[in-house]
Structure 1
Amino acid sequence: MRNINVVELARIVNELKKIEGSRLSKIFLPELKLLNLRFNDKDKTSLIIDSGKVLYSTKYKIENPKNPHNFVMYLRKNINNSRVEEIRQIPGDRIVEIIFKNKNKNILIIEFFGKGNFILTDENYNVKNSARKIKEKVYEYTKKIDPFKFKKQEIYGIEEDLINIISSKLSLGKYYALNFCKDYGYNEKSKIKDIDFDSFVKDIKKYIKNLMKIGIKKLENNFYISEKNSSEKNLNNVIDELYNSKFNKKYVVSSKEYIKNEKSIKKQEKLLVEFDKKISLKQNQIDFLSANRSILENKNIKFDTKTKEFKIKIGENEISIRSGKSVENKINDLYTEIKKLRTKIKGANETIVKLRKKEISKEKIIRRIEKKKISKWYEKFRWFYTKDNNLVLGGRDATTNDILIKKHMEKEDLVFHTTDPGSPFFILKSKNPSPSEINDVSIATASYSKAWSKKIASTEVFYVNSDQVSKSANTGEFLKKGSFMIRGKKNFLNVKLGLCIGSQDGSTIGGPYSAISSKTKKYLKVIPGYESKSKIAKKISKKLNLDLDDVMKFLPNGTSKIL
């Protein structure tokens, strides 16, 4: 994906103002140019900064290295748990500052030009550390024309084509420069002196102002801010999805087993060639010695006093015969060596046959970088949204039951539980709950209770107002973890057990039929049955192309059946 320009960067920074006032909770450096900062603001913002290219908040998290980079260790020591005082862009430049305040003020400077860089300075811009080493001890900015607040005289004297002034001097880039000229009726090759300058200044400022709020045109591997497509107005979301599709893209490579097997075959084939050469050489030596059995009597034959060997030259090769051995002894030794080499050739051929018989997949699909979706706060509970888009939460165990009632139950909520013990508490967050919503939450409460594992077709559920639920036990009684006292009138319903698991925009959702069928057409119904939870999850995962672990989270404990 291309690098962002000054105006696009300004729009992103404006969307990221939400992190101001929050604390920096985690710092990672998946790659030298890729920084991941996580904040404790309301949205638990995870900021991805690809220096030299782009920054954006993400709904996903990238796998981080087990051994952190030295620069990350330095950042953690200096700015971790610091409060974000301000995030701002340097006027007219592709540089962003994040100002952190703790005991001392630190400024993280991010460059989005060239190779990019992360630089940490103090409040006086004295350089403390950087991801890529720089010579400067004090960081200084080069003053550039601010496209949002430029003065007429800053561009009036420039003797260049209009398109160059807009794309380079005002830092909008060629696409937006051409788009402006087309929309406002300017000749892209005109000079400043040839146009109504005051009208041009008014038009370009209006155009730049519009770029901060109009819709975004999303392409396969790119994006542009464009009035023609206003369906998406959050630039962070668009960039996040573009990067996510890039990182999650599957591609095919040769499998490790296949590569290893091919290397082994080539190694054996290379040995066969070497063995043949050695046999040929030794056979030539035998032929020579057989024809010259009295060679050792030749006075020109060299004798090495150190090794005590006779050295006989045959062309470029040399035969060594130890003192005390005859030519016949050497010929016999050579035959023995040839015999051993032929045994090795036989072994190498057998190994090649075995390796070629192995059934190994030549190709393997892997992921370049796997990005995992960050869970929303309520996903630690049982949850679904009703047909009317009201949130329903349920406990998974005694601990989450406790947390649900103590921390998330509000005045207007309705609280649900089965008449029989062994049920999670469910709460319906709705000011004016409809009968169908109450019925749906009752079905969920019953389905996630022990009634499911007992294969009971229907069971009784009651619901009460939140002020009827208390942790205080009656005198002489004790409430265990996850249990609560219900006082006052109860409302009862008898409901059938059954749930739906569905796929909504590639994500797993689960709950009662009417709630899930209103969100997606891709779903499967489940009821109590005789197949294990894991088998049912695998079938649903395969049919709906969903993550197996996510499906497991929505299935009740016990055996089930797919309708």
Structure 2
Amino acid sequence: MKDKESSLDFYAFTGIYRERLVGSFVKKVYQTGPDDFLIQLYRSDLKRFDMLVSLKKGIFFKSEETPDTASQTAMVLRKTISDRRIVSVEQVNFDRVVKFVFHTGQALILELFRDGNLIATDGDKITFVLKPRRWRNRDLEVGAIYIPPSSSDPTKMTDEEFVNTVRQSKANAVQTLATRFNLGGDLAEEVLFRIGLPKDGAVDDLENRANDVRRSLAEILQESLLNSAYYYEDQGTVSPVPMKHFGEYTRKFDDFNEGLVFLLSMSPQEEESEDPIQRRINSQMKSIEEFGKIAEKYRSYGSQIMQNLQTVEMAIKDARSGNYPSDKMNKATKHISLKLGEEDIDIDYTKSAGENANRYFDLSKDYRKKIEGAKKAIEEAEQERIKLQEKKVKSVNRRIFWFETYHWFISSEGYLVIAGRDAKSNEKIVKKHLKEGDLYVHADMYGAPSTIIKSEGKPMPGEDTIRQAAAFAICFSRAWPAGIASGTAYWVYPSQVSKTPESGEYVSTGSWIIRGKRNYVTNLKLELCIGLREIEGVSLPMIGPPEVFGENEKCIHIIPGDVRRSEIAKQIAEYLNVSKEEVEKILPPGNSRIVPLKPVQNAS
């Protein structure tokens, strides 16, 4: 099943629906999932209509159930683009990037490749980015100048630019079109299929047939604007044009968006992600199978030529003298098609029969080497799996403490701090564990965890512990996935925390009524460290503000970022020599980024 829209899809979407979008006002923005946003649009002649943006799947005109409470990210986007009129909609450089420009000069840019990203700009300057990132050639950070991921647009290239781009490639024909021209695999294959070039042909074929390639691409792009959609069940994809290299389509839609929404409804719901090691192994096994078939094909071609040397030499001689059938001969590439046995074999008539055979034998050897490389990669993955299993067994066999049910850390003053993981544990943590002498801490925003500093008979915690607990509460709130740099929290005494609402009010599970004065703690940075802490003879991964770790303690410093929790957990687990599962369950919500740890000072 196709998991996200292609460059061709976005070309068609922006081209077909530009007229509908231009002149529309953004009314509201909702975040319906970590990477999903519903943008409500309004135009006097169309009334209200909804646009669903899924950073991992694409753009659709589709309504979704909206959350009762707007997320922090949605609130920021509302302030940024609400009541702005769309004046242009464009695909950037035929890439999976779509840009909405508003009458104020601001823009909303959707980068819809890999895990996706959402960027707001004012002029060229970035004012908001969902997932901050830095590369060698561009930065996605607030204050930076926005630079698109690709600088070349195949639809606007001159003949000279096209040929120069082809000459720089060392890949085959389809790979060159797919990657260097942003076409993607399916469109690249379709372009070649329509002009009769093999997808695994030499890159030189593109240069020799440049005019045909560009004509084919232009025709497909023109077809994509006819507002139809073609569903191919076997390939699990929808296309705005008939993909002739797929064969017959299963179903046709008279509206492109209707086809996209249909495919979205067919895609499976998000499930537990496959074991990444097994995913790598499965990928390598598929490669071995594919490489084996290609290696055998090229070996067979070489053998066929060697068994028919005289026939091949005669065909080469005829081609050189111009006496070869014109429909089987390509004078531009200096190649002929020669039937040997059941196969039509491509022969370079500038070379001898023996040289052609050796070329195929060499190609076969190259793919055999790739098979050996893939087998080695599988062995390395299996070894990695064994090591992880050993770590997992080690962690399972250790003692589990009661506070591990919650998020927790030990403050620099030695106080245990615990925080709820969800609404249910937010309810339980207060009812069961908030005692006289403890302090209740909460981030100054909806949806943050109930956090408790346990006094356990000790004097009231000092300013350091209170500040650390307040920062912890902020880090495990919605502020982390929203990429906010700092926040505010407050603390109160247990007697101020109640489940009794005012008349006519309702308090949901996990929520509490706070009465009386709130003691605010401001300018709390969103940053955490993960290290090991020994408790009653057991070594545990612990996450907390940087101040709780000593100068000589081994720990990793993280801030909100764009790296998946699973990848961050893997890196930290390897560094601390513990299981990935133990690390992942203590990380804050959303993505993070590892950064160098700066020296910290306590407040006292």
TM-score (norm. length: structure 2)? 0.38
Larger radius of gyration: 1
TM-score (norm. length: structure 1)? 0.40
